Amino acid sequence: MSEPTPSRLIVTGGRGRLASLVAEHFRAPANQVTLYSREGGAGFLPLDGLTAPGALDEATALLHLAWSTLPATSQQQPGTEEQNDLPLLKQLLEAIASSPKSKRLHLIFFSSGGTVYGNAPGRANLEADPCLPIGSYGRAKRMAEELIATYAGYHGLACTILRISNPYGYPVPKNRAQGLIPHALRCAVENQPLTLWGDGSARKDFLHYTDFLTALELVVARRLTGTYNLSAGESHSVREVISLVEKHTGRRVPLNPQPGLDWDVQDSRLDNARLSAATGWKPLISLDEGIRRAAAGYASHG
- Pairwise pLDDT comparison (178 vs 93), residue with the higher score: 93
Q: What is the pLDDT of residue 40?
A: 80
Contacts of 236 by beta carbon, 8 Å cutoff, 6+ apart: 203, 204, 206, 287
Q: How many CB atoms lie within 10 A of CB 174?
A: 11
d(CA 283, CA 143): 28
3-state secondary structure of 139: helix
Convert the pLDDT of each residue in 195-208 to its tens digit. Answer: 999 999 999 999 99
d(CA 119, CA 265): 6
Complete domains list, the chain, with CATH: 7-170+206-234+269-283 (3.40.50.720)
Written as one letter, the residue type at 220 is V
Convert the pLDDT of each residue in 181-197 to its tens digit. Answer: 999 999 999 999 999 99
Q: Say if pTM beats, i.e. exceeds, 0.75.
A: yes
